[in-house]
Structure 1
Amino acid sequence: MSLANELRIRQLYEAVNAKDLAAIEGYGADFSEWLDVPFDMTSRGARAIIDPWKSWFDIFPDATCEVRSLVALGDHVVAQGIGRGTHLGTFHSPAGVIEPTGARMQVNFCDVYRLRDGKIERADSYFDFFGLLRQLVPTNAVAA
């Protein structure tokens, strides 16, 4: 099971990098949950997986994820890496609305998945929001 789940999540990141929304949507189910940890926001249901990715692509249309490590144990998979993109869309963030800056960004992430029957049952997505914010907002506007 671990090997199949590892492959499934590798394929998810391939779909993310290809902006294959149909493939990403296929990871969701009625029982799916996605937690954006920096935002303390949980999405639930069949669109719980596609909606966060779609929102990210709306903000960073050229977004990519470089997976640096991926480990599977039973029904859990942990992926760690670097997300990159160009800020071309309005970002409704916990720090407020950030209008497009055209800035290139690079952010560390760690996603923890629990799978059931090839679908994502739960995803906890951790990323360095403060580091991202510092790249998108002028330095003097973000307190150190």
Structure 2
Amino acid sequence: MHPTEKVVRQFHESWDMRDPDRGAEVIADDCAFEDIARGEKLPGKDAYKADYHRWREAFPDGLCKVENVIVSLDGEWATVEFRNSGTHTGVLRSSLGDFPPTGKKAEVRYCSVMRVRDGMVVEGRDYYDSATIARQLGLVD
């Protein structure tokens, strides 16, 4: 396995393992990460952990399964395709507001584009369809 793939897998698989500290181990202090769908910048380890806890609050049984990792020829960039799923049994805090639990299940495909240097994630962006989440939870028609 390419070292960049190992790093980005650790980042994502830590969500599934319920171990945000393990994920934070591979995040540079000045990492520039962005959640495109929410329009939020998530700089550094603390933002990663806060985002983890926000998601875990909404989906305590949530799973994060890596499906594909593609590493660029120079080894600096990786694209990670993964699937998040869970039951909405806690408050979902989003850029559109806070939504009380619906008890409904959601499963959404994501794509992360990440840059790794010296074994650390230094930049990244998550892309996903937030409307799919809202529809599955019955928040929109």
Identify whether the pair has TM-score above 0.5, normalized to the shorter chain: yes
- Determine helix, strand or coil for the equivalent of 2:55: helix
1:78-117 alpha-carbon deviations (Å, 9 max, x no partner): 1112210111221122332210111111011001111122
1: distance between equivalents of 2:40 and 2:10?
25
In structure 2, what is the equivalent of residue 54 of structure 1? 53
In structure 1, what is the equivalent of residue 134 of structure 2? 133
- Contact 1:32–1:49 under 8 Å retained in 2: no
- Contact 1:33–1:121 under 8 Å retained in 2: yes
Q: Percent identity?
A: 28
How far off is 1:41 after superposition? 0.5
Which runs of 5 or more structure 2 residues have no equivalent in the other structure? none
Which residue identity lines up with residue 136 of structure 1 in the other structure? L
2: distance between equivalents of 1:27 and 1:55?
20
Residues 1:83 and 2:102 are matched in the alignment: no
2: distance between equivalents of 1:48 and 1:66?
21
Larger deviation: 25-34 or 112-121? 25-34
- Contact 2:8–2:121 under 8 Å retained in 1: no
Written as runs of structure 1 = structure 2, the 5 A alignment for 1:1-144 is 3-73=2-72, 74-138=75-139, 142-143=140-141
Give the 4+ runs in structure 1 shifted more than 6 A: none
1:105-136 alpha-carbon deviations (Å, 9 max, x no partner): 10110011111222211120111100000011
Which residue identity lines up with residue 137 of structure 2 in the other structure? L
How far off is 1:29 after superposition? 2.5
Which runs of 5 or more structure 1 residues have no equivalent in the other structure? none
1: distance between equivalents of 2:128 and 2:115?
18
Count of aligned positions: 139
Larger deviation: 73-82 or 25-34? 25-34
Which residue identity lines up with residue 93 of structure 2 in the other structure? H
Provide the alpha-carbon RMSD of the alignment: 1.7
- Determine helix, strand or coil for the equivalent of 2:79: strand
2: distance between equivalents of 1:58 and 1:27?
23
Change (3 A) 1:13 1:108: same
1: distance between equivalents of 2:136 and 2:115?
31
2: distance between equivalents of 1:35 and 1:5?
19
Provide the TM-score with structure 1 as the length reference.
0.87
